[in-house]
Amino acid sequence: MKLLFFQKCAFVLLFYFFFFSSLIFSQNPWASYVHEYSFGAGQNTGQGANYFPNNVLGAVSTSVSATSPSALPEEIVSLGRNGWVSVGFESPIINGIGADFTVFENAFQITGGLGIFDEWLIVSISNDGENWFTFPYDSLTGTGMAGRTPTNGGNVNYLDATQSGGDSFDIGELGLNEVKYVRMQDATRFQSSDRLSAELDAVIALHQLTTPIESSNIFNSNIYVSDNQLFIQSEKSLQLRIYNAQGQEVESINYSPTLSFVFSLENWTKGLYFFRINEQEGVKFVVR
């Protein structure tokens, strides 16, 4: 009987995991606004108000390939010599395992196996828009910069840096755990004179702080998470049990009606959690 309950419970957890995970990942991972910018001289494709900033926000152009880059002003902006753009996201980039974001320029493979036509970008990150941390680079080889690897285009998974193309960066390399802004600065001054200006097509977050989803009406109660605190409001007494993504119970809370209830999640590990209220068939979650 007990086993049956856990099997049932596991099934429910699994169901809600798949149901809600599609909601979780529906969050926009692409840059969603331009924070600041300053264009340089020399090349101005896509800088007009009809095109910028939309051409650097949202998804990379999927009609491109490694040999056929974006060149349309609707899709890319030329930063101009030493010009730069910083972008922000719906939700901050966090330090996950490996690369945390990818920058797409319009580098391309030159036909005939003659290598890659690349235009370099120095990449910096910031959590407050004031203090910037720049990824180390080699101005002779371009190592450490963006603008070096073609976009693969098509239906590749752009959340997978191993198949997307572009140049990926790990914020943990600079000792940061969370950043709001990514800045790309044209670095073609270090290259041969036929490089006029780097372009920017798109930036995608690979690891992102996930916004908790309000879970209000399923149980006729109001349960939500804000600022790392769990709020409960209900007219009925509740027992709230919280499980981690492995299905282990990590907390059990007995709630009785008061004006409000606040439970701190400040010291909790970031991740996916499931809520089970009393013995009702239902699970909720929060990702911090």
HEC assignment per residue over the chain: CHHHHHHHHHHHHHHHHHHHHHHHCCCCCECCEEEEEECCECCCCCCCCCCCCHHHCCCCCCCCECCECCCCCCCCEECCECCEEEEEEEEEEECCCCCCEEEECCCEECCCCCCEECCCEEEEEECCCCCCEECCCCCCCCCCCECCCCECCCCCCCCCHHHHECEEECHHHHCCCEEEEEEEEECHHHCCCCCCCCEECEEEECCECCCCCCECCCCCCEEEEECCEEEEECCCCEEEEEEECCCCEEEEEEECCCCCEEEECCCCCCCEEEEEECCCCCEEEEEC
Q: Does 92 bind Ca ion (CB under 5 A)?
A: no
At position 99, the amino acid (one-letter code) is A
**Which listed residue (64, 87, 93, 100) binds Ca ion by CB under 5 A?**
100
Rounded to a whole number of angstroms, the minimum distance from the CB of residue 87 to Ca ion is 11
Closer residue to Ca ion, CB minimum distance, 13 or 56: 56
Closer residue to Ca ion, CB minimum distance, 93 or 242: 93
**Which listed residue (45, 103, 201, 273) binds Ca ion by CB under 5 A?**
201
The window from 3-11, 13-21, 94-102, 244-252 that contacts Ca ion (CB under 5 A) reads 94-102
Closer residue to Ca ion, CB minimum distance, 118 or 225: 118
Restricting to residues 117-176, name those near Ca ion by CB under 5 A. 170, 172
**Which listed residue (202, 225, 283, 287) binds Ca ion by CB under 5 A?**
202
Rounded to a whole number of angstroms, the minimum distance from the CB of residue 274 to Ca ion is 26
Number of residues in contact with Ca ion under rule CB under 5 A: 8
Q: x/- contact string, 206-235, with Ca ion (CB under 5 A)?
A: ------------------------------
Restricting to residues 37-76, name those near Ca ion by CB under 5 A. 55, 75
Rounded to a whole number of angstroms, the minimum distance from the CB of residue 166 to Ca ion is 11
At position 78, the amino acid (one-letter code) is S
Positions in the binding site for Ca ion (CB under 5 A):
55, 75, 95, 100, 170, 172, 201-202
